[in-house]
Structure 1
Amino acid sequence: MASLAQQKSTKLSLFNFKSISTRTFWITSISFFLCFFAWFGIVPFMPDVVKDLGLTPDQKWNSIILAVSGTVFARLLIGKLCDKYGPRLCYTWLLMLGAIPVILCGLVQTPTQFLICRLFIGFIGASFVITQVHTSLMFAPNIVGTANATSAGWGNLGGGANRLGMPLIAAAVVSFGVADAEAWRYSMVIAGIVCFLMGIVYFFFTKDTPRGNFKELKAAGEMIVAKKDQIGFLAVLKDYRVWILFVVYAASFGIELTVYGTMDDYLQNTFQLERVTAGNIVLSFALMNIFARTLGGFFGDKFGKLKGLRGRVLFLSFILTLQGIMLISFSSATSIVFGIVLLIFFSLTVQMAEGATFSVVPFINKKAIGSISGIVGAGGNVGAFLAAMLLKSKSAMAEKAAIVANEGLGEEVIKAAQSVASSSAVSSGYLLIGFVVVITGIAALAIKFSTEEEENEAPSNVKNTSPELIPIPVKR
């Protein structure tokens, strides 16, 4: 079988569509984009949803928390499934089953139904893990960091593109005679249908590895894992390096999600920007994923070539520490120009840190890439949850105090006081988070590799075959 004879790609040739590695790279990146697009698709319509369903402020916040919580559990599970069944089947089922709650979200009639849908929609956030596993299986060690970072970065664009894409879909729906108040429902249904169709594409146009699907390799006798080589999930959990990377990803991707999720209001309260202006600024930084995350993987690969696996860790530690310094500096910015410059550097470093993280992940244990990717990926959502709770609590306390202090002075005065209090609270929260990120960056240096692991990944010893597969002679 021709596919079984192919090797891992040593180059990211974006337009070589005859290569199964390149084809899979594009399909997995687009699938990830669509999953993120659908996952956050409801965000631009929240004012309409609140009005239509009568959501309370608590229910609105709970819907956000549920979406993140669902993703944490899904990411932990999907990594193990990828190791067992392969990324192709896992992504196919995730896209097709994940489309169901997206479609149902457009049909809900009560707040409870909406909250349930948001919980299950969060499961498609596990698409990130499959994307990283699949690119790790398709690309050789010299380029795997760049491939992982690029596919993840381009997929993450879906989380920002929905700010533009979903309203455009809604406008198109309205042009066919649908009422404005119902447009958000049709938009979610359309997003779900597209995800379902992408699942079909994934099944027919990708393979688990350059050499074939797991099922084919087992049938051909080219994929056998002896009991002594099996890596149990418990063994993965006992590897301290996995948990350091869990915290690292919480401090990078988790903080990016939180900062971008709170930045609109912060820019308005701190620099008196209009909502549209603030939203466009935040969107532009999200779009830096086109190249910034790729840079993190690229430099991870370069440092890996120069200094071995230790070099990858050194770069990760450096860029994560720099990210924390940028956030600390931004938290005290009082000038909009200076603030935007610092925000640019924060966006660049945080996305590079994400790419650098997954230039290290594939080398922790090649027999359990899926499980490790799932745990580390879940760290991002845990970090986002904790940071969001911190900022929410600090802001809520400050605003309540401002209301009490200015009671009886008029609505405009109270609103202005709330704005100042919220800005100050979030600023102090960013400062605290920044210091935590710096400490995490330093702690990343604790990731060590054995002499044997370093030697196995030395350029002179690396082969482009899939190390996860153990070939044996096949009788003819």
Structure 2
Amino acid sequence: MKKTISTKATKLELLNLKSMPIRTFWITSIAFFICFFAWFGIVPFMPDVVKDLGLTPTQKWNSVILAVSGTVFARLLIGKLCDKYGPRLCYTYLLVFGAIPVILLGFVQTPLQFLICRLFIGFIGASFVITQFHTSIMFAPNIVGTANATSAGWGNLGGGANRLGMPLIAAAVVSFGVADEIAWRYSMVIAGVICFSMGIIYYFFTQDTPEGNFKELKKEGKMPQLKKDEASFASTLKDYRVWILFFVYAACFGIELTVYGTMDDYLQNRFGLDRSTAGNLVLSFALMNIFARTLGGYFGDLFGKLKGLRGRVIFLALILAAEGAMLSIFSVTTSLVVGMIFLIAFSLTVQMAEGATFSVVPFINRKAIGSISGIVGAGGNVGAFLAAMLLKSKSAVAESAAIAANSTLGEEAVKAAQTTAAATAVSSGYFLIGGFIVGAAVLSLAIKFATADEKIALQEIKGELALSGADK
């Protein structure tokens, strides 16, 4: 009988659309982009939503928390489902059913309905886990870090592109005679329909692995690890390395979400920028995902070739430490020019750290890549939540004290004092977070791999590269 050989891609040949791994790479990256676009699609319209639905400041803040909270739960669940049913079906169902709350958001009439929709829209943030799982099993060890990082980085662009894309959709809707104040409703419906359509595309144009779909491979007896699924998941939960990576991803992706979510106001309060300039700067940093996260995966693969699996961990620790240092230095700068230099450096290193994290993930437990991706991915959202709560609490205390101390000096004096207090509080929060990130870098060095794992990874790289060479 002819031995079945792997057909994982050993190169990221982006124009080779005849290759199933490359075709899957493109489709999963686009699906991820659309999910993030829809997940944060309402953000540019929040002033209109507040006015239309009469949201209080508390309700507005709660909507942000609910969106993140829903993602944590969904990421933990979806990784386990990917291991059992495969990424193709999981992504299809996530896109199709995730489109429902996106569409319904366009029809809400009360603050409660809005909050419920935001909670369930957050579930599509689990798309990240499926994307990382799918590229992990489509690409060989020598290139998997780069593939993971690139697909994730390009997908993350959806979270920034909506700042431009959603207003353009709204403008197109208005051109058809729709009132400007309710254009946000039509825009969300359109975003939901796009999500639903992408689910159909995912089902018909991808497959779970280079060799076929999970269902067929299981019937043919080519995936015996599925029979040990429960044991693999139990071992995943007990593996200390998974929880270190959970902590690490909280220190990179989680911090990126929080920093960019608060950066608009900080740039205005700290450096006196107007809202439009501050918003454009933050958007430009988000667009660095086009290449920065890919660099993290690339150098993770490079260190892996030079130093084995341990090399991937070493690079992760180095780039995390650099990220923390850049954020802490930025937090104490008072010059706009110097601040921008270190903010750019932070943006580059934080996204590279995200790519480096998922150049390590595929090698922790090959039978539970989905579960591990889900747990680590959830760590990002937990980190974002905790960092946001830290900044919110520090800012609230400082602003309240400033208002009380200057209440007799007039409205302008109170506003100026409040602005200064907010900037100082967030600055100190950023500094503390930078220290937390450096601590995560040190902790990441505790990730170890058995000699047998190192040998398997080396053999896979040599085997896949040899097969690639033979195919030419």
Judge same fold: TM > 0.5, yes or no. yes
Report deviation, 1:218: 1.9
Name the CA shift for 1:365/1:127 in 2 (closer, same or farther; >3 Å).
same
Give the alignment's Cα RMSD to 1 decimal: 1.3
Are 1:252 and 2:252 an aligned pair? yes
Aligned to 1:176: 176
Report deviation, 1:255: 0.2
Report deviation, 1:60: 0.3
Aligned to 1:416: 416
Aligned to 2:296: 296
Whole-angstrom CA distance in 2 between matches of 1:228 and 1:114: 42
1:257-277 CA distance string (max 9 Å, x none): 000000000000000000000
1:63-106 CA distance string (max 9 Å, x none): 00000000000000000000000000000000000000000011
Report deviation, 1:227: 5.2
1:252-308 CA distance string (max 9 Å, x none): 000000000000000000000000000000000000000000000000000000000
Report deviation, 1:455: 1.0
1:103-182 alignment runs, 5 A limit: 103-182=103-182
Unaligned runs of at least 5 residues, structure 1: 466-476
Query: Normalising to structure 1: TM-score of the pair?
Result: 0.95
1:233-382 alignment runs, 5 A limit: 233-382=233-382
1:85-100 alignment runs, 5 A limit: 85-100=85-100
Whole-angstrom CA distance in 2 between matches of 1:212 and 1:460: 20
Residue identity in the other structure for 1:376: V
Name the CA shift for 1:82/1:462 in 2 (closer, same or farther; >3 Å).
farther
Question: Does the 8 Å contact 1:83/1:369 carry over to 2?
Answer: yes
Name the CA shift for 1:335/1:360 in 2 (closer, same or farther; >3 Å).
same
Residue identity in the other structure for 1:463: G
Aligned to 1:385: 385
Whole-angstrom CA distance in 2 between matches of 1:106 and 1:91: 23
Aligned to 2:445: 445
Whole-angstrom CA distance in 2 between matches of 1:349 and 1:461: 27
Aligned to 1:34: 34
Number of aligned pairs? 462
Aligned to 1:60: 60
Whole-angstrom CA distance in 2 between matches of 1:441 and 1:15: 36
Whole-angstrom CA distance in 2 between matches of 1:427 and 1:266: 8
Report deviation, 1:219: 2.6
Whole-angstrom CA distance in 1 between matches of 2:334 and 2:231: 52
Unaligned runs of at least 5 residues, structure 2: 466-472
Whole-angstrom CA distance in 2 between matches of 1:331 and 1:460: 44
1:351-398 CA distance string (max 9 Å, x none): 000000000000000000000000000000000000000000100111
Whole-angstrom CA distance in 1 between matches of 2:305 and 2:461: 12
1:13 alignment partner, SS class: coil
Report deviation, 1:228: 6.2
Name the CA shift for 1:378/1:226 in 2 (closer, same or farther; >3 Å).
closer
Aligned to 2:470: none
Whole-angstrom CA distance in 2 between matches of 1:213 and 1:226: 13
1:61 alignment partner, SS class: helix
Question: Does the 8 Å contact 1:141/1:462 carry over to 2?
Answer: no
Query: Normalising to structure 2: TM-score of the pair?
Result: 0.96
Report deviation, 1:234: 2.1
Whole-angstrom CA distance in 2 between matches of 1:194 and 1:108: 19
Residue identity in the other structure for 1:162: N
Mean alpha-carbon deviation: is it higher for 191-200 or for 232-241?
A: 232-241
Name the CA shift for 1:90/1:333 in 2 (closer, same or farther; >3 Å).
same
Identity of aligned residues (%): 77
1:7 alignment partner, SS class: coil
Aligned to 2:469: none
Whole-angstrom CA distance in 1 between matches of 2:462 and 2:259: 39
Report deviation, 1:421: 0.2
Name the CA shift for 1:284/1:73 in 2 (closer, same or farther; >3 Å).
same
Aligned to 1:81: 81
Report deviation, 1:412: 1.3
Report deviation, 1:111: 0.2
Residue identity in the other structure for 2:273: L
Residue identity in the other structure for 1:452: A
Name the CA shift for 1:141/1:104 in 2 (closer, same or farther; >3 Å).
same
Residue identity in the other structure for 1:389: M
Whole-angstrom CA distance in 2 between matches of 1:281 and 1:244: 32
Aligned to 1:474: none
Residue identity in the other structure for 1:345: A
Report deviation, 1:224: 2.4
1:231 alignment partner, SS class: helix
Residue identity in the other structure for 1:34: I
Whole-angstrom CA distance in 1 between matches of 2:176 and 2:79: 42
Name the CA shift for 1:230/1:407 in 2 (closer, same or farther; >3 Å).
closer
Report deviation, 1:316: 0.1
Aligned to 1:208: 208
Whole-angstrom CA distance in 2 between matches of 1:364 and 1:283: 34
Question: Does the 8 Å contact 1:72/1:382 carry over to 2?
Answer: yes
Name the CA shift for 1:46/1:317 in 2 (closer, same or farther; >3 Å).
same
2:231 alignment partner, SS class: coil
Question: Does the 8 Å contact 2:246/2:375 carry over to 1?
Answer: yes
Report deviation, 1:410: 1.4
Aligned to 2:21: 21
Question: Does the 8 Å contact 2:140/2:461 carry over to 1?
Answer: no
Whole-angstrom CA distance in 1 between matches of 2:133 and 2:73: 17
Question: Does the 8 Å contact 1:231/1:368 carry over to 2?
Answer: no
Whole-angstrom CA distance in 2 between matches of 1:226 and 1:28: 23
Report deviation, 1:216: 1.6
Question: Does the 8 Å contact 1:455/1:461 carry over to 2?
Answer: no
Residue identity in the other structure for 1:121: I
**Which one has the bigger helix percentage?**
2
Residue identity in the other structure for 1:238: K
